[in-house]
C-alpha cells in the first residue's frame, strides 16, 4: 500500500472515531431525562418519598449539570459521587429524604450549610422562596455560583465561609439543612431557626453519624433522631468572616 493511501486511511479512521465519540456523548445527554425519571421512580418514590412537589423537583432539576464532567454519565445512579476536594454530592435518596422532612413550600427561606455541587440548593430553590447556602471551600462555592447564574437559579445566594456561625444577616430561617456532619449540633444554627422552623442535620463521629430533626416550638428545641448516615465531616475554620 502506498504511503499516501495509508495516510488517507488513517485520517478516515480518526474521523470515524471522532464521529462515534460525538454520537456516544449526545446519546448519553439524550438519555438523561429517561434516567432521571427512573431515578425518581426506583430510588425515591419506591422508598417512600410521597410529597408531590418534592417528586416534581427531582423530575425537573437536572442532577447531571452539578456532577463533574468525568462522572456525568453516573449522575442518576443510586450513589454519592466525588465532586473534588475529597467532597461528595449525596446519594439522590438522601437528598430527597432531607428535603421532604423539611416540608418545603413557596414561602420558605432556607439556609443550607455545605453548598458542594449545588444540587441540594437547586432542589430547594425549585421548592422554596429563597435559599442561602454557605460553602467553606472557595473553588466549590464559586463553581456552584457559576452554575446557578448560568442556569437561572436567581433565588440562591452563596457565601464562601464557615457554616458553623450560620448567616446572621438573613436569619431567622424557616428551615436549615446541613449537608456535612459536625460532632455536635452548633448552637448558632439553633438560634437562627425561626419559631416553628425545622432543621435537618447529620451529627456524630465518622461511621457513627445520625440524622437529627430539630424543631423550634414555643422557643424550645425538640430533637428527634432519624436514620444513620455517612456525611463528610464539617470543617472548622479559625478565621472570622
- Known catalytic residues? 90
Grid cell listed for 207: 461511621
Q: Are 89 and 80 in contact (CB under 8 A)?
A: yes
Distance between CA 18 and CA 14 in Å, rounded?
A: 6
Q: Cis omega (within 30 of 0) on the bond before 94? A: no
Which stretch in 14-22, 45-53, 135-143, 191-199 sits in contact with ligand SAH by CB under 6 A? 135-143
The answer to the question of residue 110 lying near ligand SAH (CB under 6 A) is no
List the one residue out of 232, 235, 234, 225 whose CA is nearest residue 90: 232
Which residue number places its CB atom closest to ligand SAH?
116
The answer to the question of residue 96 lying near ligand SAH (CB under 6 A) is no
The answer to the question of residue 71 lying near ligand SAH (CB under 6 A) is no
The answer to the question of residue 163 lying near ligand SAH (CB under 6 A) is yes
C-alpha distances in angstroms, 114 versus 56, 132, 171, 187?
Answer: 23, 10, 17, 17
Q: Judged by CB under 6 A, which of 43, 75, 88, 99 binds ligand SAH?
A: 88
The answer to the question of residue 114 lying near ligand SAH (CB under 6 A) is yes
Which stretch in 8-16, 203-211, 213-221, 230-238 sits in contact with ligand SAH by CB under 6 A? 230-238
The answer to the question of residue 235 lying near ligand SAH (CB under 6 A) is yes
**Footprint (CB under 6 A) of ligand SAH, residues 171-200:** 179-180
Q: Which is nearer to ligand SAH, 109 or 120 (CB)?
A: 120
List the one residue out of 66, 69, 92 whose CA is nearest residue 79: 92
Residues contacting residue 70 through CB under 8 Å, at least 6 positions apart: none
The answer to the question of residue 162 lying near ligand SAH (CB under 6 A) is yes
The answer to the question of residue 136 lying near ligand SAH (CB under 6 A) is yes
C-alpha distances in angstroms, 204 versus 101, 170, 182?
Answer: 20, 27, 6
CB of 228 to ligand SAH, least distance (A): 17
Mutual angle of helices 138-151 and 119-127, in 10-degree steps: 40
C-alpha distances in angstroms, 124 versus 80, 167, 222?
Answer: 18, 17, 23
Which stretch in 10-18, 25-33, 47-55, 116-124 sits in contact with ligand SAH by CB under 6 A? 116-124
Q: Which is nearer to ligand SAH, 114 or 197 (CB)?
A: 114
CB of 160 to ligand SAH, least distance (A): 9
Distance between CA 241 and CA 234 in Å, rounded?
A: 17
Q: Which is nearer to ligand SAH, 25 or 60 (CB)?
A: 60
Q: Where on the chain is the footprint of ligand SAH (CB under 6 A)?
A: 87-90, 113-114, 116-117, 119-120, 134-137, 140, 162-164, 179-180, 232, 234-235
Amino acid at each position: 500500500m502506498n504511503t499516501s493511501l495509508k495516510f488517507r486511511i488513517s485520517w478516515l479512521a480518526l474521523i470515524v472515531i471522532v464521529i462515534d465519540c460525538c454520537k456516544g456523548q449526545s446519546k448519553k445527554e439524550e438519555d438523561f431525562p429517561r434516567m432521571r425519571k427512573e431515578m425518581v421512580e426506583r430510588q425515591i418514590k419506591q422508598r417512600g418519598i410521597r410529597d408531590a412537589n418534592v417528586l416534581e423537583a427531582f423530575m425537573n432539576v437536572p442532577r447531571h449539570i452539578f456532577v463533574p464532567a468525568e462522572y456525568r454519565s453516573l449522575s442518576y445512579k443510586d450513589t454519592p459521587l466525588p465532586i473534588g476536594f475529597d467532597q461528595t454530592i449525596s446519594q439522590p435518596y438522601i437528598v430527597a429524604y432531607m428535603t421532604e422532612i423539611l416540608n418545603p413550600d413557596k414561602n420558605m427561606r432556607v439556609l443550607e450549610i455545605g453548598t458542594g455541587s449545588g444540587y441540594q440548593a437547586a432542589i430547594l430553590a425549585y421548592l422554596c422562596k429563597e435559599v442561602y447556602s454557605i460553602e467553606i471551600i472557595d473553588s466549590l462555592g464559586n463553581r456552584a455560583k457559576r452554575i446557578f447564574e448560568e442556569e437561572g437559579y436567581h433565588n440562591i445566594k452563596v457565601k464562601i465561609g464557615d457554616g458553623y456561625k450560620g448567616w446572621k444577616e438573613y436569619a431567622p430561617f424557616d428551615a436549615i439543612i446541613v449537608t456535612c456532619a459536625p460532632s455536635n449540633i452548633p448552637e448558632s444554627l439553633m438560634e437562627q431557626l425561626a419559631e416553628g422552623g425545622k432543621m435537618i442535620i447529620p451529627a456524630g463521629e465518622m461511621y457513627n453519624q445520625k440524622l437529627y430533626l430539630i424543631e423550634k416550638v414555643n422557643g424550645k428545641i425538640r430533637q428527634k433522631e432519624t436514620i444513620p448516615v455517612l456525611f463528610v465531616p464539617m470543617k472548622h475554620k479559625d478565621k472570622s468572616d
